[in-house]
Structure 1
Amino acid sequence: MPRTERKGRQNKKRGKKGGKKENVEGEQITTMTATTIDDPMKITPAIDNSFTEQRFQAAHFGEVDEELLGYFKNVEQTLDDPQFETAEDQRLFVENVYNEVDGNEIRLSTNYSCSLILEKLLKISDSFQLRVFMDKLRGKTVELFVHRFASHVCQTLLTLAADVVEREQLDGVKSDNNAKNGTDENKEGELLSMEQLVLDACEDIKPHIGGLISQQFASHVIRILLHVLAGKRIDETGDIKGRLRSKKSAQYKKENNDTFTKTSVHLASTRKVPDTFKVMFRTLTTELAINMSETEVRTLSVHKVANPVLQLLLDMQENDTEGIKARNILIDRILWGIVTDIDSKEENTDRDSWFATLIRDSVGSHLLEIIVKVAPDPIYRKIFKTYIVGKLEKFTLHPIANFVIQNLIAHVRKPKQLKQILTELKGSFDKIIKNGKYGVIRSLVDAAVKMEVCQQDVVDALVTGLRMPSADDKEGTAVEDRKEFVNCCMRMWTLDQWKSASYDEKQDLYKFHLQGSLILQGIMQMNEEANAIATSSFLSQRPDTIHRWCFSPVGSRAFESVIASHHVNDKMKKKVMRDLLGKYTSLAKDKFGSHIMDKCWLNADIDMKEKIAAELVKHEHELASHYIGKNILWTCKIDQYKRRHDVWVEREKGAERKREMFKDILDDTMPISKKRKFA
């Protein structure tokens, strides 16, 4: 699309609303601390903290002249609508662009329009071109990291550099002197590897790292850099908490159809990185975790820009001696010497007030979530006993603190701790449901499954919370009410709410709650005694009602969990599959129902498979022309069923025997086909 038609773009600014001049790079970011706390809900401003108050002057490298600006606009048109016939044509085009802008790389990076075009250009550059470009930025790392526009270029460059470094580790460093026409490489020396270029950038920022992580634009670049050094794959499409891109940057890319960096599901989550990167990661961790005072770390821990960097430093440490040491030191400074005082019985009022503030703070609570996840067992136990026990209900009902409690429960270390949590919370399930804190219940269900304790107690507490009669009540009305368990659980409604709902509300599948579905899925993984109420309730529903669940993104997951559960007997599963006869064709053509079809086929015996296959054969032509249905035909081997029925029977019986033999180690909870994005 011609540039002149895109009038709205010039008024869009990344990083800050409004049309003010870009003199904000050197503005001081307000920092917060809690050195003196009267009100545990309040965080007081920092008075004197030179470490996080470093000022970074807005660098200016000159204006881009009109001729170069016009050339770059033409480059953008080519990038937006490429007409390259071969990959070599594209490489030559990119090389020519770099030759034309040689010497102006920094000036272009700090220009609003040109920085956007540079990002597009970098994404189609080869390894050598990326090394040349990064070499041009050497010595100006800090100035570019803190710049409003250049910081985005640096983010993209470092993200792409991770691929180059990995290739260098696998294939070695490849040079291409001919590709660097127009430069004085022979005079200046050999072009450095991407590994060394990244390390040089780290050396540049090392003296300023504490200030950079709290700087508005540099913080996101530092986070990308930490991913590269730690060998973690960068997936911006899964950046749900804004750790890698700011909300405005992410929204801008979405609105302008700018592709994010996405990790393939087939790739490992870690990369092969050189040992020098691991050393540099530890060095930067040391600068932040060890060379700073406790007050400075606590200031950063409630800083909305710096906090995510501390989260990454805690989460990315390896579980070796050095990594554990660095993590413990960082936790010690964040939580007011809790590691140092691990065996102390004395009360620390400063730490008590700080923890009460941190767990309720919209920024600091995220750091606590990571701490309870990665903390060694003694530290977890200290936090649990000192600050959580006796206050669980209060924290659970708090709009912010409840997320910390969810993570605390999810990463519980011992069955005894889970029992203690449940003892304190089991009488509060009605309040938890009333206040919509369903995630806490889900965490309890998942923890009970993982630890294999308290499963019946969790279900009983949920039944009481939904205000349903207990199993001890044998009256006819109570038995009928218990049949509504799955309906109440799926919607997170109490029994009274279900009874008072209209017919249309009961039929509305959009009333299903995601957390309710996840809770029901967790219950189906519990032992047979604990999941009995859910199983019997599910089986007591009308077949046409349950059939509608199959076409709901939330309901279908719950349906699958019943079929896939190892703790539901085959007789019950067969009844569910028998109720679906006559409906398998419609299931095979639905994006949600097809997964249920997979589960039914995986768990059906040979007699049920015969009935399902016979139904599919009748609609074979219809299914063969459907983009989902044809996969079901392949899964069920319908062609073989028709042509060589005896072979098909033997094959399915063999598969059934193998499944029975290895049922204790096979995970039938995963779909046969590609895993769905829906959680």
Structure 2
Amino acid sequence: MAIYRSLTDKSLYCRRKSDPTDVATQFNIAGLPVEIVAEIFLQVCGMHCSIGKAGDGPILLLAVCRAWRDLALHTPSLWNSFVIDFRPLPGPTKRDSLIRSMREWIDRSRSLPLYFQLHTEYPVFDSTYTDVVRYLLESSSRWCEVTLHANGASLLPLWAAGTSPVETVGHISFAFADLTFDWAQMTELDLFLITMPSLDECFRILKQSVNLRRCTLNAVCSFTYDQRLEVPHLEHLSLTAFGTQIEGVRQEIVYMAFLAALALPVLRSLKIGWNVAAPRANEPYHWSDGCTRLVRFLEGLQGQLQTLSLSYLPLNTGQFIQCLEAIPSLKHLVFNRSHLDIEHDGYDRLVNALANQPLIPQLQHLRLEGSEVIHQSSIASFCSQYEYGDYARSSRRLSHVISNHLDKKGNAIRLVSISLSTKCPRSIGSEARRKSRSRSGSLPAQEESTLPAWIVPNQTPDADDSVNPEAPFGFVDADVKAYFRTVDVQIRDWQDPAESGAADEDVDPNEERRMFLVAALTEMTGKEKQLATDPDCSIVLERMAYSMDDFVRRVFVDSLMGSYAVLVKHRFASHVCQTLFTVAKQTVSREKRGVLPTVPDDNGELRTLTQLVVDMCEELFPVFSSLVMDPFASHVIRALLLLLSPNSSQETAPVRSKKSASWKAKQGALKSVFKEADAGASTAPPEVFTGTARRFVEIIRNELGANETRALAADKVASPTLQMLLAVEADQQMTDEPDSLMDRVLVGLITSARDDPNAIPPASDYLNTLLRDPTSSHLLECIVSRCPDTSFSILWASYFKGNLPRLASHPVANFVLAKALERVDAPQLSEACAELHNTWRKIIQTSRTGVLRATIDRAAALKACGAEIEEAVSTAFDINTPEERKMLIPCVLRLQTPQELKHGETTVQGAVLLQSLLRLPEPHNQFVIESLNSLPMEDVLKIAHHAAGSRVLDALLDSPTVPLKAKRQFVLSFIGHYHLLVDDRIGSRVGDRCWAFSDTYLKEKIARSLIQQEQFLAGSYFGKYFARNLNLYLLQRRPDEWRTMQTNRNRPMETLTETPRGPVAETAAGSERHKRKRDGGGDEIDELFGAAMGKKVKRAALRDVEVDPKSVPSGKGDEDVGLANVIGAIRAAPAEGKKHGRRKGD
């Protein structure tokens, strides 16, 4: 498999780099059996390839060569497994392209079973989704494994069709009243609807889902069934109640009645949540009879339940202890308590109860969350009992004790994380003992004797003087540092494409690299924090992070827990944290899809990376406001926000500074040494990430005042972070809230617009300063793009209207104005054009074309103000007469007037302007087309051979507003000059675009015009690739067959009914001619290809010339390879004047 993957990569690389050596002439797979090649393709592509990705799955094979393309198109098993992803919701053109591609995939799969996934942007509804589901239903008889992530309304065609033959539905979101669905086939159900179902409806679902193993339900308390239901295979149940407590109705009794009605013989994990508002706000509310029923239910699970999570149940500490007494077999316990259920010493009593008597002797993991303070003495007593008491004598292991300490306002004061293990060599206990030995004499003897050896009380500031801020966790040993230098050198070699291609083909490179990485990770164990803060080793950890698998990443991130507040502010460790957040996106995406690695449970529970990121954020919440302004931590916070809210990435500045990016570039490629199958997979962030990102915004709101927030905008360190926070705020629909961050930066403008949309407040000097400041102007660009529509209208009227000439010519403010012009409506755009009439010439002279480009793009989007745009362009370039209009394209490309047009280079700004002008609605783009048609062919060829100028010609062919007649005239204008056009690296690409656009008639005219230039094209370094598309040999001898072939290529794939004849099929049916074996000393791969391709192929029709490997001696490496290819091509070509018994009609 690795051989053909490398061949695919090499062939694409050769074509993109215009390498004269083509893969089709080197590796002719036509000689291999079709079944073997098809199976190789199937293994390389894998399952669930993404539709719409040019480099994914069988689409990659279509771009290699004609033989591979034909075989891939006629192998149905390559096309029956796919993913359709509409996240985020694409534009109309992209949507039509996805649907068209989906139809092609389904047609190519023929009658094979279908395995597909549909992902839509929830809860957004679009009629496109319904059309997609309706089309998929046409092939419902072939559905085998289907996953639907969609809005309920999008699946209406499915419900209307009744029970469909679907074997597996992973996740569905719908309104299921009166729904007929085969629930018996469901093994996993995660039901979370905006309109909450009742417990009665959940009971009906469970009654039908007899094979359910994992279930998550969120429901309102309404239950009327009086029968008992057994769910025989259910192992994991999560049930959360929602609603409002009603006077006189004990909803907890209804809740417990539902649980009591369930018989769960194999249940191992149970989560019970209570999200029912109390009858009186801000008053404690506790269950009475509900607790007794809960204890009775838990007693029925005794001996089988291992994990229990009680979230916000209104239980006091005594009631909670009663629940624990009912299930002594627990290994994992999580208890969340609301801030309303505050008891003076509740957690102390709970921990002491666990320490004084073995309520849960097998406990491995305990997590307490709430609004109470737990004293260190209670933790010490609890852990002392573990180390010296009954727990130790019973050889029980406690993995984690985590307690969140919150003040009365709910703000986190500190996070205590104590990790114990009798098997792990790098436990916190050994580390603390090592630290205590290094600080001998700093603690009183009496205190040292009363506390366990691994507990170190908080040090006073004077006692911490010995800690070096450059190495807060200690220095790395010299031998360890030398070892990791060798690791860095080895990984660099593997990441170098030249080195990776020269590996021994007899050894699996991935296995060797995996063993090497495991050895490095083993050496890193226990030294993660020291290595992260070391100036030499931190970059090695970053390089290794890209090659870690999901399990190792979780272990690495977990090893740093409790220290992130220090690490993110460290000069070197901050970059390690940033890299971790960057690579964590892939792991989190897989975890959301349920792709989890096998985790050994002998060392305790290992949290998922999603949960680790959330816990890490909990650790950073108390110090977040200071991290925003920290020079080392700010870029880490931006990477974290990008992980939590990736939707805001498109509108935000780059995470790394120019200095950091330049330094990173010198370190070589930072990428995985392994090939990841789903490296390009993307998905929306988990719901918990959305809430966590929201909390970051709320912390800044609560801890910083309005003036402090505005001060961040001008700070070079804090401004990019504030920009990302504003983007998160906009994504979360929080900008309209009172005193939002955006409202603070806009000095109350959003609040004013909401109170009185017609009022125009006085201009603020602060915002006028932001417009012209190099640092804060980026922030204002984000605000202009993301602020509400009513606020933008006021912002435009107050700060832009009337000041456009000064802003357009300002070196900084012109960028903000260009961003604002992207949101104006037609009247505002017309007023802006009139106000800038006398300024266009000045902004062209200063090469500040952003405002003009934004104006043109907005006019094209609104399909308005076309005449004003023509006038603006004429004014900007001083074009008045018809003769001068013919020089429009050279003037715009060089940003010069006709009087100045003598010498000058084509500019990128000018090329971008012309591309925007070509997208204007007809007839306002006609003056650009006329200018192009009036240019001499020498000038057009110069434009086509320029990297920036050629994009203008691409825009002419791509623009939907350019008439078809003008496009055909442009293609025909190169007749007689195509050989000069394609004899260039850039020009050959333009020639390919013209050929792809042409119909059969135009292609024949182009091809016949190049018959006289056939030898010229054959000798051209770049033109020979264009000549292969022409197939001039077939055109001259059998023109009808040539036209048929070109027509079939232009025809959409879904209309093809006949299987075209390909080289592979001909090879299978071709006659074999045995030759004597040649002497050779090649390796196994050469022998494989030599044996497979030693059969001559009948050439009834002209195809790409293929070199017979057997015609070239493999043992003589000193012969010229190019000469050997030429000789092979001559031998393979049909000989003229010789009779070979050809068939009649050839």
Q: Retained in 1: the 8 A contact 2:979–2:1016?
A: no
1:67 counterpart = 2:479? yes
> 1:528–1:400: structure 2 CA closer, same or farther, 3 Å change rule?
same
Deviation digits for residues 278-307 of structure 1, max 9, x if unmatched?
111111122224553211211111111111
- Structure 1 residue 654, shift from structure 2 partner: 7.4
Q: Which residue of 1 aligns with 2:579?
A: 156
The residue type paired with residue 900 of structure 2 is Q
User: Residues 621 and 392 from structure 1, CA distance in 2 versus in 1: closer, same or farther, beyond 3 angstroms?
Assistant: same
Secondary structure at the counterpart of residue 381 of structure 1 = helix
What's the counterpart of residue 612 of structure 2? 197
More helix per residue: 1
Alpha-carbon contact 2:944-2:990 (below 8 Å) kept: yes
Distance 1:95 1:652, change over 3 A: closer
In 1, Cα distance between the equivalents of 2:562 and 2:961?
Answer: 62
> 2:938 is aligned with what amino acid?
D
Change (3 A) 1:68 1:602: closer
**Which residue is 2:590 aligned to?**
167
Match of 1:43 in 2: none
Amino acid of the structure 1 residue aligned with 2:692:
M
Cα shift at 1:74: 2.7
| Cα distance change, pair 196–402 in 1 and its aligned pair in 2 (3 A) | same
Aligned mates of 1:291, 1:626 — CA distance in 2? 68
Q: Does 1:97 align with 2:520?
A: yes
Q: 1:596 aligns with which of 955, 969, 990?
A: 990
Contact 2:582/2:639 (CA < 8 Å) preserved in 1?
yes
Matched, 1:120 2:120: no
CA distance in 1, matches of 2:1020, 2:692: 53
Change in 2 beyond 3 A, CA 1:151/1:642: farther
Match of 1:138 among 561, 579, 588: 561
TM-superposed deviation, 1:213: 1.7
- Relative to structure 1, the CA distance from residue 99 to residue 653 in structure 2 (aligned partners, 3 Å threshold; closer, same or farther) is closer
Matched position secondary structure for 1:497: coil
SS, match of residue 716 in structure 2: coil
1:217 aligned residue: 632
**Secondary structure at the residue paired with 2:536?**
helix
Query: Among 228, 243, 265, which residue is 2:643 paired with?
Result: 228
1:359 aligns with 2:771: yes
Contact 2:944 2:981 in 1 (8 A): yes
Kindly report which structure 2 residues correspond to 1:9-408, keeping only aligned pairs within 5 A, or say none: 60-82=472-494, 85-177=508-600, 186=602, 189-231=604-646, 243-259=654-670, 270-289=682-701, 291-316=703-728, 322-323=733-734, 325=736, 329-342=740-753, 343-344=755-756, 352-408=764-820
Q: Aligned with 2:985: secondary structure? A: coil
Cα distance in structure 2, aligned partners of 1:625 and 1:259: 40
Q: Determine which of 911, 915, 934 is the counterpart of 1:521.
A: 915
Give the length in aligned residue pairs. 572
Q: CA 1:217 to 1:570, structure 2 compared with 1: closer, same or farther past 3 Å?
A: same
Structure 1 residue 657, shift from structure 2 partner: 8.7
Whole-Å Cα distance in 1 between the matches of residues 1020 and 842 of structure 2?
48
Asked if the contact 1:483/1:537 (under 8 Å) is kept, the reply is: yes
- Deviation string for 1:221-261 (max 9, x for gaps)? 111111111245989xxx9x962222222111212323379
Given that 2:760 and 2:797 are in contact with CA atoms closer than 8 Å, whether structure 1 keeps it comes out as no
Match of 1:554 among 943, 948, 959: 948
Q: Relative to 1, partners in 2 of residues 1:598 and 1:376: Cα closer, same or farther, differing over 3 Å?
A: farther
Superposed displacement of residue 588, structure 1:
3.5
* Mapped partners of 1:326, 1:553: distance in 2: 48
Which letter maps to 2:952?
A: A
Q: Partners in 1 of 2:964 and 2:658 — Cα distance? A: 49
Report whether the alignment pairs 1:483 with 2:895. Answer: no
What is the alpha-carbon distance in structure 2 between the residues aligned to residue 644 and residue 169 of structure 1?
57
Larger RCO (CA within 8 A; separation ≥ 6): 1
| More deviation, 629-638/337-346 | 629-638
Aligned-partner SS, 2:602: helix
CA contact (8 A) 2:877 2:896 kept: yes
Amino acid at match of 1:200: D
Q: When the two structures are superposed, what TM-score results if normalisation uses the length of structure 1?
A: 0.77
The answer for the alignment partner of 2:106 in structure 1 is none
**Greater strand proportion:** 2
* One-letter amino acid matched to 2:832: I
- Quote the Cα distance in structure 1 between the aligned partners of 2:739 and 2:1052: 47
Matching residue's letter, 1:336: V
The DSSP-based 3-state class of the residue aligned with 1:143 is helix
Contact 1:231–1:270 (CA under 8 A) maintained in structure 2: no
8 Å Cα contact 2:546-2:672 kept in structure 1: no
Query: Hey, what's the Cα distance between the residues in 2 that align with 1:100 and 1:564?
Result: 56
Would you say the 8 A contact 1:159–1:234 is kept in 2?
Answer: no
> How far 1:432 moved relative to its partner?
1.9
Distance across 2 between alignment mates of 1:94 and 1:261: 11
For 1:494, the equivalent position in structure 2 comes to 897
Deviates further, 128-137 or 629-638: 629-638
> Which of residues 409, 415, 424 in structure 1 aligns to 2:835?
424
Aligned partners of 1:289 and 1:326 also within 8 Å: no
Quickly say closer, same or farther: Cα 1:564–1:77, change in 2 above 3 A.
closer
Alignment check: 8 A CA contact 2:589 2:682 kept:
no
More displaced stretch, 335-344 vs 68-77 = 68-77
TM-score, length basis structure 2 = 0.47
Identify if the C-alpha distance between structure 1 residues 92 and 356 changes in structure 2 by more than 3 Å, giving closer, same or farther. same
**Cα distance change of structure 1 residues 564 and 134 upon mapping to structure 2, 3 Å threshold:** closer
Q: Cα distance 1:527–1:74, how it changes in 2: closer, same or farther (>3 A)?
A: closer
SS in 1 for 2:852: helix
Shift of 1:314: 2.8
Whole-angstrom CA distance in 1 between matches of 2:697 and 2:1033: 60
In the alignment, structure 1 segments of 5+ residues that lack a partner are 1-55, 178-184, 470-477, 660-679
Q: Specify whether residues 290 and 421 from structure 1 end up closer, same or farther in structure 2 by C-alpha distance, changes over 3 A only.
A: farther
Is the Cα–Cα contact under 8 Å of residues 234 and 261 in structure 1 kept in the other structure? no
**Cα distance, 1:148 vs. partner?**
0.3
Amino acid at match of 1:392: L
1:593 is matched by which residue type in structure 2?
A: G
Q: Structure 2: how far apart are the matches of 1:247 and 1:85?
A: 39
CA distance in 1, matches of 2:612, 2:1037: 63
The answer to whether the Cα contact below 8 Å between 1:317 and 1:327 also exists between their aligned partners in 2 is no
Q: Which residue of 1 aligns with 2:937?
A: 543
State the distance in 2 between where 1:98 and 1:254 align: 25
Seen in structure 2, the aligned counterparts of structure 1 residues 250 and 242 have a Cα distance that, compared at 3 Å, is farther
Contact 2:918 2:961 in 1 (8 A): yes
Letter in 1 for 2:998: A
The residue type equivalent to 2:923 in the other structure is E
* Cα pair distance change 1:72/1:572, threshold 3 Å: closer
Q: Provide the rounded CA distance (Å) in 2 between the counterparts of 1:527 and 1:101.
A: 62
1:394 Cα deviation (Å)? 1.0
Determine helix, strand or coil for the equivalent of 1:371: helix
Shift in Å at residue 441 of structure 1? 0.8
Partner Cα separation in structure 2 for residue 300 and residue 227 of structure 1: 19
Kindly state the Cα deviation for residue 575 of structure 1 after the two structures are TM-superposed.
Answer: 4.1
CA distance, structure 2, for counterparts of residue 260 and residue 401 of structure 1: 38
- 1:437 deviates by 1.8
Give the superposed CA RMSD: 3.4
Distance 1:57 1:205 in 2: 19
CA distance in 2, matches of 1:301, 1:591: 46
Instruction: Find the aligned partners of 1:537 and 1:158 in 2 and give their Cα distance.
Output: 51
In 2, are the aligned partners of 1:426 and 1:458 still within 8 Å (CA)? no
